[in-house]
């Protein structure tokens, strides 16, 4: 049965979205093509009709995952985004969470096109966190950008360390709490 171009695009999008979730949960090497396609509801052979390689799928899945993270940063103050980011709920749901925290280690060992996707995703997140607060001069803008980048790096690292601890570990929660206290604005 032949499918329409529109249905083929929808199928591809579904495979990419499924891959983004599975990759965040199991890593790029932890998800084989057969497992991925079964999870998406398709046959293993269908993969090669949609993608030239697993690297192509990894890049597309990374782009979608990073876009989802950037979208979550919109509509709430940066402090609120970081508070949710550094939560036990986010820590315990890697498949639904930030691609930076779930995939940076894997992405560092991938093709340069995947690294470029990660750099673009990080840039989008930085832009979303910038908000509309105009800076009076170039130096202030650069300092504000450096602070946002530091906060993101701090938060991603905290999530990674917390996930590396046993789930019921006091250390896992202590890491998140310490980083929340360090990077979030102090309440007066």
> pTM for the whole thing?
0.86
Question: What is the distance between the alpha carbons of residues 123 and 41, in angstroms, rounded to a whole number?
Answer: 33
pLDDT at 187: 63
Domains by residue range for the chain, with CATH: 56-183 (1.10.357.10)
Residue 188 has pLDDT above 50, yes or no: no
pLDDT band for position 75 (50/70/90)? confident
- Would the pLDDT of 59 be above 70? yes
The tokens of 95 are what? 């498949």
Question: Looking at the predicted structure, is the pLDDT value of residue 76 above 80?
Answer: no
- CB count within 10 Å of CB 38 equals 13
- Does residue 163 register a pLDDT over 90? yes
């Amino acid at each position: 049965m032949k499918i329409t171009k529109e249905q083929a695009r929808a199928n591809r999008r579904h495979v990419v979205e499924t891959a983004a979730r599975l990759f965040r949960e199991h890593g790029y090497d932890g998800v084989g093509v057969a497992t991925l396609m079964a999870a998406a509801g398709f046959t293993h052979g269908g993969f090669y009709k949609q993608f030239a390689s697993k690297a192509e799928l990894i890049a597309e899945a990374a782009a979608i995952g990073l876009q989802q993270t950037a979208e979550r940063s919109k509509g709430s103050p940066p402090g609120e985004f970081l508070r949710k980011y550094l939560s036990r709920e986010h820590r315990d749901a890697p498949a639904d969470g930030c691609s930076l925290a779930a995939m940076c280690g894997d992405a560092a060992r991938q093709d340069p096109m995947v690294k470029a996707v990660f750099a673009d995703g990080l840039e989008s997140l930085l832009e979303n966190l910038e908000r509309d607060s105009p800076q009076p001069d170039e130096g202030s803008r650069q300092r504000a950008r450096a602070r946002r980048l530091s906060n993101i790096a701090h938060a991603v690292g905290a999530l990674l360390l917390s996930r590396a601890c046993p789930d019921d570990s006091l250390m896992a929660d202590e890491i998140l709490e310490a980083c929340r206290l360090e990077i979030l604005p102090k309440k007066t």
